[in-house]
Chains A and B, each alone.
Chain A
């Protein structure tokens, strides 16, 4: 995995709650046995008209969002199906970071989606609702608004005529993996002795193993 330290890019906004992974990548694209080729199909049902042309109504098709790498959206993004194809599609479209608000008890991202993102170098950031609202307003005012994400310092900075920064929290382990671009399977395999010990002990206790 390529390490993620900091990134500067154009912000796109998608003002929808509960965007599910069926929307991010519809089922017909899950038949592929490859890990690539999903970017074109991202948000397929929203993005394209029946004749295959871009639907001008869909937010991401707006010319002002061309070349975007940072998606700012609403809470519970990535809910539903566990399909990692959703993350592959977002990454292959060009996104490096997804930002969404935690609204009281309601998290920004669904669990499996957030996990899948971490494994593919896609940074998911939770901000406060008022901070996300502010980004939405600023992007509406200023086309091609850019943002810098500094993962090591856990800070996002909006580049407008003035600069505005927000701090974000992130799980220590996820951060370390992203910053160093670690191979998690390789790391777990280093614990082979402990896994073996566990297997011997638990086998003695359970009849079904």
Chain B
């Protein structure tokens, strides 16, 4: 029987299946960070259990870390959490990319960078955006802290087989339209629970044409459609990206691995539980207007009446508009912003920064706008600096920071004030996500950069 990419990865990781269908699934890579792991280690200590495979477990600190004076964590509770991770990694023999490491960064940025993320593997992390790693054809998904403890103790997880959902993007993305727009469009179309219980597989020429970094942006936001994971079959682009990375097999073993990786495609005729086709050629830059990523529209759009929002109840649409301080009839391009955040595991990689830098070059950030540019990792930061991107950002009047999650979730000092409006390249526009009362609009890096310069949203296609 023809198999999907998902079937192939799943079946090669089954340790045991119960008659109930409950499966013990082997985990190849376990990534951990400071926020969702302390209680898991506490659980191990209480039950006198060990970490089964510290060699398959990798840790970094990203959520809490300051992006200015990074070695000086002023908040004592944040500091305690960072110190707890250091202690836990020491006690259990786990490799930690700490603040002093030249490879520290957002967990979903450094995994691929280091070559920890490999096609055909299973990857988990106590973080919902673990779906990012699916861009390599890895089955990667977020788990809770109890499951983190389970993986630490057993290197396995108890799972029920999810359903599959193929989304084919035909055509080619038009100029000025990025992979961020492609995934936002999909979420707008199927809703934030549209893929719950499913693993999404993205296929079609528009996906094939994307770079690895752009694919990561797509898979990253799979969770915002409710999906368990996102997958893109490995191809030459994938193999090219992996070449020479630290944890990737070398020499002859690389060639053999590459052959295997490229076999990881859905067979012709393989069936999915659901399918959907979207024509990428027809897409426009997207801007979210509400309080979840499904509340999104073309940049050319106008805020609708609350009873005219498809798939969202009038009550929830009204609530969202009230929170966002928006009135029906307002053009997206007329919405003025106070802050721009370019960063997060969605859009903080070198290509994202290059794209933003192109827009900022020889221009100035609007005097009313605070602009924060936060590279996803120390490696991204060094690369950007070697290309002189930091100079472009600074010359434009933007703030160039150290790597971390930063204003994506505002656990560190980078936060919005109540009613401040932000154009953000991150993945969640939930109420209060970037600071209590803060208003978030999700966009691509180019759209964020253009908004920083204009002081309001602009259709980036007019600038190209």
Q: Mark A residues whose CB is within 8 Å of B.
A: 15-18, 20, 22-23, 26-28, 30-35, 45, 75-76, 79-85, 87, 105-107, 110-112, 115-116, 119-120, 171-173, 184-185, 188-189, 191, 194-195, 198-199, 202, 206-209
Q: Whole-angstrom distance from the CB of B397 to the nearest CB of chain A? A: 28
Inter-chain CA distance A16–B36, complex, in Å, is: 27
Given contacts A22-B431, A208-B257, contact A30 B411 (CB under 8 A): yes
- 13 A-B pairs in the complex with CB atoms less than 8 angstroms apart: A18-B193, A22-B431, A23-B430, A30-B63, A31-B64, A33-B80, A33-B81, A84-B144, A107-B196, A116-B147, A191-B154, A191-B156, A208-B249
Q: Which 8 A-B pairs have the closest CB atoms?
A: A119-B146, A33-B38, A116-B144, A84-B144, A76-B193, A207-B249, A84-B145, A82-B142
Q: Which B304-326 residues sit within 8 Å CB-CB of chain A? A: 312-313, 315-316, 319
Q: Whole-angstrom distance from the CB of B79 to the nearest CB of chain A? A: 9
> How many chain B residues touch A (Cβ–Cβ < 8 Å)?
77
Query: A184 near B158 (CB under 8 angstroms)?
Result: yes
Query: A185 near B150 (CB under 8 angstroms)?
Result: yes
Q: Which residues of A contact B253 (CB under 8 A)?
A: 207
Q: Which residues of B contact A173 (CB under 8 A)?
A: 18, 20-22, 158, 160
Query: A82 near B193 (CB under 8 angstroms)?
Result: no
Query: A185 near B49 (CB under 8 angstroms)?
Result: yes
Partner of B150, one of A26, A105, A188: A188
Q: Mark B residues whose CB is within 8 Å of A.
A: 12, 15-16, 18, 20-22, 24, 26, 28, 35-36, 38-39, 42, 47, 49, 52, 56, 63-64, 75, 77-78, 80-81, 84, 118, 121, 126-128, 142-147, 149-150, 153-156, 158, 160, 191-194, 196-197, 223, 226, 228, 247-249, 253, 256-257, 292, 294, 312-313, 315-316, 319, 409-411, 428, 430-433, 436
Q: Smallest CB-CB separation from B49: which chain A residue?
A: A185
Partner of A84, one of B36, B78, B80, B248: B36
Q: Which residues of A contact B143 (CB under 8 A)?
A: 82, 112, 115
Inter-chain CA distance A28–B253, complex, in Å, is: 46
Query: A208 near B247 (CB under 8 angstroms)?
Result: yes
Inter-chain CA distance A71–B352, complex, in Å, is: 42
Q: Smallest CB-CB separation from B29: which chain A residue?
A: A208
Inter-chain CA distance A31–B38, complex, in Å, is: 10
Q: Which residues of A contact B430 (CB under 8 A)?
A: 20, 22-23, 80
Query: B154 near A119 (CB under 8 angstroms)?
Result: no
Query: B144 near A195 (CB under 8 angstroms)?
Result: no
Q: Smallest CB-CB separation from B121: which chain A residue?
A: A208
Q: Which residues of A contact B431 (CB under 8 A)?
A: 22-23, 45
Mostly helix, strand, loop or mixed at chain B's interface? loop
Residue in A23, A28, A120, A202 whose Cβ sees the most chain B Cβ within 10 Å: A28
Q: Which residues of A contact B18 (CB under 8 A)?
A: 173
Q: Which residues of B contact A119 (CB under 8 A)?
A: 144, 146-147
Query: B257 near A207 (CB under 8 angstroms)?
Result: yes
Q: Whole-angstrom distance from the CB of B111 to the nearest CB of chain A? A: 13
Inter-chain CA distance A112–B430, complex, in Å, is: 17
Query: A107 near B192 (CB under 8 angstroms)?
Result: no
Q: Whole-angstrom distance from the CB of B335 to the nearest CB of chain A? A: 22
Query: B28 near A209 (CB under 8 angstroms)?
Result: yes
Q: Smallest CB-CB separation from A187: which chain B residue?
A: B158
Inter-chain CA distance A199–B197, complex, in Å, is: 28
Q: Which residues of A contact B156 (CB under 8 A)?
A: 188, 191, 195
Q: Whole-angstrom distance from the CB of B33 to the nearest CB of chain A? A: 11
Q: Whole-angstrom distance from the CB of B459 to the nearest CB of chain A? A: 28
**Additional A-B contact list (5), CB under 8 Å, known A30-B35, A33-B84, A208-B118:** A15-B315, A26-B432, A33-B81, A110-B193, A195-B52
Given contacts A31-B64, A172-B20, contact A198 B26 (CB under 8 A): yes
Query: A115 near B77 (CB under 8 angstroms)?
Result: no
Query: A84 near B20 (CB under 8 angstroms)?
Result: no
Q: Whole-angstrom distance from the CB of A126 to the nearest CB of chain B? A: 12
Given contacts A79-B226, A207-B256, contact A112 B128 (CB under 8 A): yes
Query: B24 near A194 (CB under 8 angstroms)?
Result: yes
Inter-chain CA distance A171–B20, complex, in Å, is: 9
Q: Which residues of A contact B121 (CB under 8 A)?
A: 208
Query: A120 near B146 (CB under 8 angstroms)?
Result: yes
Q: Whole-angstrom distance from the CB of B245 to the nearest CB of chain A? A: 11
Partner of B436, one of A17, A26, A115, A198: A26
Q: Which residues of A contact B409 (CB under 8 A)?
A: 22, 27, 81
Inter-chain CA distance A110–B222, complex, in Å, is: 13
Query: B146 near A208 (CB under 8 angstroms)?
Result: no
Query: A80 near B432 (CB under 8 angstroms)?
Result: no
Query: A195 near B154 (CB under 8 angstroms)?
Result: yes
